């Protein structure tokens, strides 16, 4: 489904069902160098069980043209504009990795417009290693390899993907490889520089779920648990998975989202 956001087309996947503005809405937000397809299993379920789903392609990712934004705050303004363009009334936001920071910042800025917040594979701050940043800035294939390898738990790297003939690592690497030049570097830099205060987290009034992977190599389990501890009333769910929980533990993540989103 296409929208016009900040003057450019923006694509959102509706989960295989026509978008119905009369149903409660969920906006899924992907991470760095990915697109809407990382949410394919979760988004399709909710679209077929009483929700309207919009899994966005952020600018410079997937089917959405335009330049990647430079900061998480800029991405947050884009999501707020997307919500306006789609005429959504208090949607739930579900974000992964960089998408979790975008969702968090949007809730901090526009809490009255958000019904619920789910943060998957999150940390704040979300530091990025110098070698990873340098490789991404050079558009080196090594950066995509790092993204794929560190984005999965070691035990999953030979696991089969739902895509025939692919493993999880290979499928992730191919998806990363489709990203536009500069998109990964911009995203990693935005994550690395983003900061929010403990006071801001303590003041968040949006019902929140934090899901962390015990084997996460990119955003540590302890960091995710710490974020949950700072948000009043936040639920915390631990999964036996790495950073890419949507594909490593799709059923378990879906169960956590189902219970929270209702």
Structure confidence by residue, pLDDT tens digits, 228-262:
999 999 999 999 999 999 988 999 999 999 999 98
Whether 113 shows a pLDDT value over 80: the answer reads yes
Are 11 and 56 spatial neighbours (Cβ–Cβ below 8 Å)?
yes
Would you state the pLDDT for residue 78? 97
- Residues 236, 74: Cα–Cα separation, whole Å: 27
Place of tokens 């936040």: 234
Number of folded domains that form the chain: 1
The first and second tokens of residue 248, run together, are 């490593």
Would you state the pLDDT for residue 159? 57
pTM of the model: 0.92
- Residues 177, 200: Cα–Cα separation, whole Å: 36
Whether 60 shows a pLDDT value over 60: the answer reads yes
| Nearest in space to 79 (alpha carbons), one of 143, 141, 30 | 30
Asked which of 35-44, 77-86, 101-110, 176-185 is least confident by mean pLDDT, the reply is 176-185
Asked which of 37-41, 94-98, 141-145 is least confident by mean pLDDT, the reply is 141-145
The first and second tokens of residue 103, run together, are 């969702």
CB atoms within 10 A of CB 11: 19
What's the whole-number average pLDDT of the chain? Answer: 91
CB atoms within 10 A of CB 64: 22
User: Does residue 128 sit in helix, strand or coil?
Assistant: coil
Are 123 and 223 spatial neighbours (Cβ–Cβ below 8 Å)?
yes
Give the CATH number, domain containing residue 51: 3.40.50.1820
Contacts of 132 (CB under 8 A, 6+ apart): 143, 146, 147, 150, 188
- Residues 159, 168: Cα–Cα separation, whole Å: 6
Would you state the pLDDT for residue 182? 85
**Structural domain harbouring 163:** 2-261
* Rg over CA atoms, the chain: 17
pLDDT tier at 164, thresholds 50, 70, 90: very low
């Amino acid at each position: 489904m296409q929208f016009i956001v900040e003057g450019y087309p923006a694509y959102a996947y509706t989960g295989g069902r026509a978008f119905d503005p009369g149903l409660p809405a969920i906006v899924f937000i992907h991470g760095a160098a990915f697109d809407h397809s990382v949410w394919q299993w979760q988004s399709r379920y909710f679209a077929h069980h009483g929700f309207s789903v919009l899994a966005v392609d952020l600018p410079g990712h997937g089917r959405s043209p335009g330049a990647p934004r430079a900061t998480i705050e800029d991405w947050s303004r884009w999501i707020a504009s997307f919500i306006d363009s789609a005429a959504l009334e208090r949607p739930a936001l579900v974000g992964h990795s960089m998408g979790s920071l975008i969702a968090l910042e949007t809730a901090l800025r526009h809490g009255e417009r958000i019904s619920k917040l789910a943060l998957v594979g999150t940390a704040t701050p979300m530091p990025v290693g110098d070698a990873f940043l340098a490789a991404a800035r050079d558009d080196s294939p090594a950066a995509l390899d790092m993204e794929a390898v560190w984005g999965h738990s070691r035990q999953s790297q030979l696991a089969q993907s739902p895509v025939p003939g692919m493993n999880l690592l290979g499928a992730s690497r191919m998806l990363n490889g489709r990203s536009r030049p500069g998109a990964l570097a911009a995203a990693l830099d935005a994550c690395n520089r983003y900061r929010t205060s403990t006071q801001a987290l303590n003041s968040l009034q949006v019902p929140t779920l934090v899901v962390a992977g015990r084997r996460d190599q990119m955003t540590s389990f302890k960091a995710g648990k710490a974020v949950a501890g700072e948000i009043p009333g936040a639920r915390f769910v631990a999964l036996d998975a790495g950073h890419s929980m949507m594909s490593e533990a799709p059923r378990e993540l879906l169960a956590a989202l189902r219970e929270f989103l209702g």
